[in-house]
Every structure is written in C-alpha cells, then in structure tokens.
Amino acid sequence: MRPEIAIAAMTEIVTRFAPSPTGFLHIGGGRTALFNWLYARGRAGKFLLRIEDTDRARSTEEAIAAIFDGLTWLGLEWDGGPVHQFARAARHREVVEQMLSSGNAYRCYASAEELTEMREKARAEGRSKLYDGRWRDRDPADAPAGVQPVIRLKAPLTGETVIEDQVQGRVTWQNENLDDLVLLRSDGNPTYMLAVVVDDHDMGVTHIIRGDDHLTNAARQKQIYEALGWSVPVMAHIPLIHGPDGAKLSKRHGALGIEAYRAMGYLPEAMRNYLVRLGWAHGDQEIFSTDELIKAFDLAAIGRAPARLDLAKLDNLNGHYIRQMADQDLVTEIEKLLPHLPNGAELAGKLNPALRAKLIAAMPGLKERAKTLVELIESARFLYADRPILLDDKAKALITPEARSLLGSLTRDLAMVDPWSAQGAEAAVRAVAERSGVKLGAVAQPLRAALTGRTTSPGIFDVLAVLGKAESLARLGDQAIG
C-alpha cells in the first residue's frame, strides 16, 4: 500500500490495456479494459492502449480493428495513439544488450532437444524449474559453432520474489523455483515477458491491472524489472470470468466478441454496469452512472474469486437502462444498431421521418416491455408491418366469430371518434364492451390481435393513438364483419 501512495503523490496514474490482436475483443478483455479505464479516469490519470502484436503469424488487422471498435462502443476512450509492440523491437533488443553487458543476462546455446530432455527430467523429479542453467556461468568460448543463442535472464538463485498485489494480496515465490527465462529468441526477437516490461516502463505505466492468468508472469516480470533497476508498477490481478457452468469461458457461452453483445441489443452503459459489478462491489449499490463508477471504483474492493457470467442479470440491467433512456435517443440507438443486425434491412429500408415519429411516440409503451434493443425492434414491428397484418397463432385464436362482430361494432364506433386520441378511443372501446355486456378484455384482446397481430403489446389505447385513425380502422376492417 505504501508504494502506491508514494507514486500517486509524485506522478500521475497511468494504466494500460494490452490485448494481443489474435481474435476478437472478448468480454473478459472488455472488463479488464473497463477497470483500467475507470481507475485512471477516477484519478485524473491516463489510460493507454498497447497492441501486443509481436506474434506476427497470429496477429491480424481485423482483430486490431475489432479491439478499437469494441473499446469505442463501450465508451472507453484511450489516451494517445495506440502503441504497437512489434514496432518497438529495436528498443527491446537494446535493453537486452544492456542486460548482457551488465551481467544480468547471458547467452544460452542449449538445443531444442536438450531443452526437452531437461523438461522431462524436471517433471519426472517433481521439480518446477525446467531449465537447469547450464550456460549460466559457462565460458562463451565453449559456444558451439553455427548456433544462434537465445539470451536468458540471470535470475536470482536464492531468496524470494514477492508481489504486493492490490487484489490478491502478498504473493510469494521461492526464487529456486523460478528458472532463467528467455528474453531474446535466437532469431533476435524479444519474448513477450521482456517486451511487456520494457513497454510498460517506457510508457510510464504505474498500475498494471490485468487478468489473473498473468499472476505467475508477474513474478518473472518483477525479476526483469529488478535486473534493470527499474521501479515495479503497482499490480492488480483480477479474477477471470467463467461461463455459467463455472468452467472457463468457451466459445459455447460468453467468449463472444463484444461486438456480439452489441448485436444482441445491449446498451454500452448496461454492459459497463454489469461488467463492473462482476467481481467488484460498492456496498449494496447495483446501478451506477458512469460518473458514480469513476468516483467509486477502487482496486481494494475487487473480489478474489472468479465470477460466472449471468445473462439474465445483464438483461435486467439492460432493461433498466432502456426504460430510463429518452425516447428519441432510443430510436437513434435502434438506427445505429440496424446495420449490425442480420435482418436489420427491413426496418432500415422503411425508416422514413413519419415512421421515426411513430416509433418515438410509441417508445413510452414499448420500452418498459423490452430487455434489449432487439426486442424493442421486434415489439415495434406492428408499427412498420404492411397490411394486412400477419397474425401469429395465438392472435388468430382470438379472432372468433363473436370477436369479429365485436370488431365490427368497434369499427363503427371508432369511426366517430374525433379528434383521434387515446382517451377518445378508450371511451369508444369501453362503450362497445358495456353495450355488448362483456368485459373490457373480451373486446381489447381481439382488438389487439387485429391491430398488432399479437396477443401482447403496449396498452391498446396507446396503440390506437400511435397507429392513427385511418390505419387503425383499416386493420380493424381486415378482421371485422358487419
């Protein structure tokens, strides 16, 4: 805790998100980015982005674009241009040279076969150290001809390496269990372990917040920092997100790109709220505005156990944010979402100013019935469906012969409503029910079926009002007799 306070007092907080562009930005990565972003924004710090693209074979432009898009959609803007790790290879080599001349690193000529042998031996003997250090103190003159060496860290043999992790607490490794890791490959390219340390240092990163899967790496990286005489950033290793079954996230459940969640109709603010509460809590508070999050977020309150993904809770949160969003904004969100939907073209093609106005007018009734934007679009279908309206099976069942004649009376009474309004329509519908000696529901349900093709919808008087007199009467006429 002390070092953190000292650093905060002298320098600004710098966090970073450092994904490797070998696939989409998944939900766990999104949360890691969110935590880094929140931590920096809450402390007037900087949030940097670094693309770890040193694996040339697996890094793709599409994946880089997906990371940018995903972060942007989530609303996590980063400071400065993104750093591409591969572009810094020369700097990484320079640092290794420095370590070589200071005696903190050495050339190792062990062959792949030797390495395998060592590994098998170590495993058989139940030791954790895989490399036996055979070139550590050997005379370079012994180097076999024609072999390109790797460069290894001359790690301490005794003592312990300790990480004061902000989430996991104090974690200790015995140095005798940590072997001399490779810093530079025989082809002259830096390893991940080295590149991360050099980049974080050069970028001025003060706080490393990342997934739990890096916790063991932290020990080895600390050894590199110490060999270099650099100060070690504050570390916070956050637990991973698991699937609903408690197992590691796989393609089957949540390991979808963040893009997939957008296409499912989730709002970025709901996503942020959900993600932040997965493993972090602030008393009993469930709903947070972005400003509240920035103010309240802290590393100390992050839990240590992995959390399971629960889409039902995300749905609930999303419904909350949909309900509280302004009607026009909701329609704007729908417009932005349509290009990302496989069947978004139908509505997109019809979305003229008149329909847009209808959508906005219908939003108060629609938004409290939808958990996602996709549901919202679907439940608004009656507004943009062509006549004659297609009835689903349950709606068809409501259109009995008796219902048809009720619809007939309704058509006549509604035709006299002037001016057209929800209140006027309501009076007419109630009058028909009373006159026919049936309950309101007996009239309202067939009416709903005729107007929307469904058995559920917003309040039927609002539906009448939004649809307008002419369209309402026309749809009624399609189903009525008499």
Partner RNA sequence: GCUCCCUUCGUCUAGCGGCCCAGGACGUCGCCCUCUCACGGCGAAAACACCGGUUCGAGUCCGGUAGGGAGCGCCA
**Catalytic (active-site) positions:** 251
Q: How far is the CB of 328 from RNA (least distance, A)?
A: 20
Three-class secondary structure of residue 67 per DSSP? helix
Question: Of 150 and 337, which CB lies nearer to RNA in the complex structure?
Answer: 150
Q: How far is the CB of 189 from RNA (least distance, A)?
A: 7
Q: Enumerate residues 382-421 that contact RNA by CB under 7 A.
A: none
Question: Using the rule CB under 7 A, is 223 a contact of RNA?
Answer: no
Two structure tokens written together for 371: 């958990």
Question: Of 119 and 435, which CB lies nearer to RNA in the complex structure?
Answer: 119
**Which span sits near RNA by CB under 7 A: 46-54, 346-354, 356-364, 401-409?**
46-54
Question: Of 46 and 454, which CB lies nearer to RNA in the complex structure?
Answer: 454
- The distance of Cα 2 from the centroid of its chain, to the nearest Å, equals 33
Q: How far is the CB of 52 from RNA (least distance, A)?
A: 3
Question: Of 350 and 369, which CB lies nearer to RNA in the complex structure?
Answer: 369
Cα(228)–Cα(92) distance, integer angstroms: 12
Question: Of 192 and 230, which CB lies nearer to RNA in the complex structure?
Answer: 192
Q: Enumerate residues 150-189 that contact RNA by CB under 7 A.
A: 150, 168-169, 171-174, 177, 181-182, 185-187, 189
Two structure tokens written together for 191: 């390893």
Beta strands across the sheet bearing 150-153: 105-108, 150-153, 182-184
Q: Which of 223, 261, 315, 321 binds RNA (CB under 7 A)?
A: 315
Q: Which of 199, 461, 465, 476 binds RNA (CB under 7 A)?
A: 461
**Which span sits near RNA by CB under 7 A: 41-49, 68-76, 274-282, 337-345?**
274-282
Of 175, 176, 261, whose CA–CA distance to 219 is shortest?
Answer: 175
Question: Of 242 and 358, which CB lies nearer to RNA in the complex structure?
Answer: 242
Cα separations in angstroms, 305 against 238, 364, 480: 9, 40, 61
**Which span sits near RNA by CB under 7 A: 88-96, 263-271, 348-356, 433-441?**
433-441
Which string of x and - marks every residue 356-385 that binds RNA (by CB under 7 A)? ------------xx----------------
Q: How far is the CB of 33 from RNA (least distance, A)?
A: 15
Three-class secondary structure of residue 393 per DSSP? helix
Cα(76)–Cα(56) distance, integer angstroms: 26
CA angle 71, 64, 262 (to 5 degrees): 40
Q: Which amino acid is present at 330? A: L
Q: What residues contact 129, with CB distance under 8 A and at least 6 apart?
A: 122, 176, 177, 178, 179
Query: Angle, to 10 degrees, between the axis of helix 192-202 and the axis of helix 215-228?
Result: 60
Q: Which of 83, 89, 143, 217 binds RNA (CB under 7 A)?
A: 217
Q: Which of 83, 193, 355, 431 binds RNA (CB under 7 A)?
A: 193
Question: Using the rule CB under 7 A, is 434 a contact of RNA?
Answer: no
H or E, element range at 97: helix 89-101
Q: How far is the CB of 420 from RNA (least distance, A)?
A: 16
The string of DSSP letters for 100-127 reads HHTTSEEEE---HHHHHHHHHHHHHTT-
CB 209 within 8 A of CB 32: yes
Of 31, 77, 82, 37, whose CA–CA distance to 258 is shortest?
Answer: 31
Cα(271)–Cα(243) distance, integer angstroms: 16
CA angle 263, 266, 269 (to 5 degrees): 135
Which string of x and - marks every residue 74-113 that binds RNA (by CB under 7 A)? -----------x------------------------xxx-
Q: How far is the CB of 108 from RNA (least distance, A)?
A: 7
The HSE-up count of residue 239 (CA atoms within 13 Å, CB side) is 23
The site that binds RNA (CB under 7 A) totals a number of residues, namely 86
Question: Of 215 and 227, which CB lies nearer to RNA in the complex structure?
Answer: 215
Question: Using the rule CB under 7 A, is 252 a contact of RNA?
Answer: no
Question: Using the rule CB under 7 A, is 440 a contact of RNA?
Answer: yes
Q: Which of 62, 94, 97, 213 binds RNA (CB under 7 A)?
A: 213
Question: Using the rule CB under 7 A, is 140 a contact of RNA?
Answer: no
Q: How far is the CB of 387 from RNA (least distance, A)?
A: 21
Question: Of 283 and 342, which CB lies nearer to RNA in the complex structure?
Answer: 283
Q: Which of 156, 243, 344, 459 binds RNA (CB under 7 A)?
A: 459
Question: Of 28 and 233, which CB lies nearer to RNA in the complex structure?
Answer: 28
Q: How far is the CB of 36 from RNA (least distance, A)?
A: 16
**Which span sits near RNA by CB under 7 A: 71-79, 260-268, 282-290, 340-348?**
282-290
CB 237 within 8 A of CB 210: yes
Cα(370)–Cα(295) distance, integer angstroms: 30
H or E, element range at 50: strand 46-51
Q: How far is the CB of 352 from RNA (least distance, A)?
A: 27
CB 437 within 8 A of CB 466: no
- Give phi and psi for 390, each to the nearest 5: -80, 125
Cα(242)–Cα(226) distance, integer angstroms: 34
